[in-house]
Structure 1
Amino acid sequence: MSLEYKINAPVSVDQFIELLNESTLGERRPVDDRECIAGMLVNGNLMVSAWIGEQLIGVARSMTDFHYACYLSDLAVHRSYQRKGVGKKLQSLTQAQLGPRCKLILVAAPAANAYYEHLGFTNNPRCWVLNRDQQISS
């Protein structure tokens, strides 16, 4: 079967969890919290997916205003299809949905830094994270 890419195609919670687990991204995502995963799918506003038949083999899930900034929250490719250009194509198709001034922004796992640099991303060390259980200091 051939590989097909889709823009904003429906993805079920089970399909997404299976892909996260098969891509190693499941180690850093709440795959045991179906309600959270469902919210991630419903509230992202740009998702490019890769399919072989009915099997989801890749996804680039983003939050964007389409004009200035696009946060690529999840880039997952099934282990069996990694190093075959699927992730690169998902990112390229994501970027193609954005306006001409829109930046593609992501937070990479440490092991993936060289991958993104190779694609032309610029490293920016100014990312900050505030977990929900923490309070903003006065």
Structure 2
Amino acid sequence: MSIVYAREDHLGADEYIDVVRKSGLNRPIEDRGRVERMLAHANLIVTARQDGRLVGFARSLTDFCFCCYLSDLAVDRECQGKGIGKRLIEETRREAGGPKTTTLLLSAPTAMSFYEGIRMPKADNCFLYRREA
């Protein structure tokens, strides 16, 4: 399986929705307008493609020098367990400014074991207001 990783300036809603469905990530994909706004305002999207087909992506908001919020990490279930998610995080960190940039993500409870498995550092100093919708 040859995977090509790339930073892409634009990711279409159809591809995003398809991979979200196939990954199990909980996102509001029934609200296409919201998905389109999410994609339009993300300023760092890293993709994983197999023979041109999107199989994973990382969608982030960053200033490229100090902080990066990795909001979405999704990999098609058929491709999970092959290092794609870990590599998407590595590529995101590199694109966002490398070791001088803090990369933060909030994990779904069901994904905690993945992040622990790749030895992503865990924070205990995070505060947040949760989405109401």
TM over 0.5: yes
Identity %: 37
Moved over 6 A (4+): none
1-structure distance, mates of 2:41, 2:80: 26
Partners in 2 of 1:67 and 1:132 — Cα distance? 31
Question: What is the rounded CA distance, in whole Å, between the counterparts of 1:93 and 1:131 in structure 2?
Answer: 28
The secondary structure found in structure 2 opposite 1:58 is strand
AA aligned to 1:75 is L
Alpha-carbon distance in structure 1 between the residues aligned to 2:105 and 2:115 = 9
SS at match of 1:97: helix
Amino acid at match of 1:108: S
- 1:93 equivalent in structure 2: 91
Unaligned runs of 5+ in 2: none
Which residue matches 1:3? Answer: 3
Identify the residue that residue 120 of structure 2 maps to in structure 1: 121
Q: Could you say which residue in structure 2 is the equivalent of 1:103?
A: 102
- Greater C-alpha radius of gyration: 1
The C-alpha deviation readout for 1:60-97, integer Å capped at 9, x for no partner, is 00000111110000000000000000001111111111
Q: What does residue 37 of structure 1 align with?
A: 35
CA RMSD after TM alignment: 1.7
Q: Which amino acid aligns with 1:42?
A: A
- Aligned pairs for 1:68-87 within 5 A: 68-87=66-85
* TM-score where L is the length of structure 1: 0.86
Match of 2:53 in 1: 55
TM-score normalized by the length of structure 2: 0.89
Q: Confirm or deny: 8 A CA contact 1:51 1:57 kept in the other structure.
A: yes
Give 5+ residue unaligned stretches, structure 1: 134-138
Q: State the one-letter code of the partner of 1:48.
A: V
Q: Is the Cα contact below 8 Å between 1:9 and 1:49 reproduced in 2?
A: no
**Using the alignment, how far apart are the partners of 1:38 and 1:9 within structure 2?**
14
Distance 1:33-1:93 versus aligned 2 partners, 3 A rule: same
Higher mean alpha-carbon deviation, 63-72 vs 110-119, is at 110-119
How many Å separate the matches in 2 of 1:110 and 1:23? Answer: 15
1:86–1:129 CA distance, 2 compared to 1 (3 A): same
Q: What is the alpha-carbon distance in structure 1 between the residues aligned to residue 122 and residue 3 of structure 2? A: 31
